[in-house]
Amino acid sequence: MEEVKIKKEKPHKEELRLAKRKAAKPLLWIGIVSIVMLFAGLTSAYVVRAQNGNWLVFQLPPILLISTAIIITSSLTMFLAQKAIKKDNHRLTSIALLVTLLLGFAFFYTQYSGWKQLAAQGIYFGGKFSNASGSFLIIIAFLHLAHMTGGLIALTVSLTKSLLKKYSASDSLGIELTAIYWHFLDILWVYLFLFLYFYR
């Protein structure tokens, strides 16, 4: 009886695992759509508020250009990791994921430096010396970084599994999901940067 029970449990667990794998990508896309709606709402509110007057126009910190170059480069290294795992090249996959992760941290650093440059210009999120334009810029950048944190965690998990050789050409869903989210964050930042650069 116990053997029969064990045999029944194993197929059930396997079915559950396969169901989770099938649901992973649709759930990720649902999450991405919700993030798109969040930032669409924020940028729309930005436009409406700017038209109401008392809007301070200031230069974006030049380091944000470096931020943009870094995140675009990280998308290229992420793409390289995707290509490498499809060829079962675990070494190149791990290197590309590591470089992507380091570039992600570099992006964080340049964003932090950008906030310091804004503060030096007298641009603050809140307080009596703040202005709505600076507050919008900082909250948009902060929310993007908050979502980037999720991307860095996913990259760390993917890198760890890659080093342990848990991925293969026929089983690379984890890297694929991480790549989709990371490329999305890249596109989102480029959109936000161009929006903030041209609409001030």
Residue type, 27: L
Over range 24-44, report the average pLDDT: 93
Over range 64-93, report the average pLDDT: 96
The pLDDT of residue 1 is 46
Per residue in 159-194, pLDDT (tens digit) is 999 999 999 998 899 999 999 999 999 999 999 999
Model confidence, pTM? 0.86
Q: What's the mean pLDDT when you consider all of the chain? A: 86
Give the helix, strand, coil percentages of the chain, each rounded to 5. 80, 0, 20
Per residue in 4-16, pLDDT (tens digit) is 444 445 556 666 6
What confidence tier does 36 reach under pLDDT thresholds 50, 70, 90?
very high
* CB of 57 closer than 8 Å to CB of 46: no
The CATH class, in words, for 2-198 is mainly alpha
Closest CA to 81 of 185, 170, 188, 169: 169
Residue 50 pLDDT greater than 80, yes or no = no
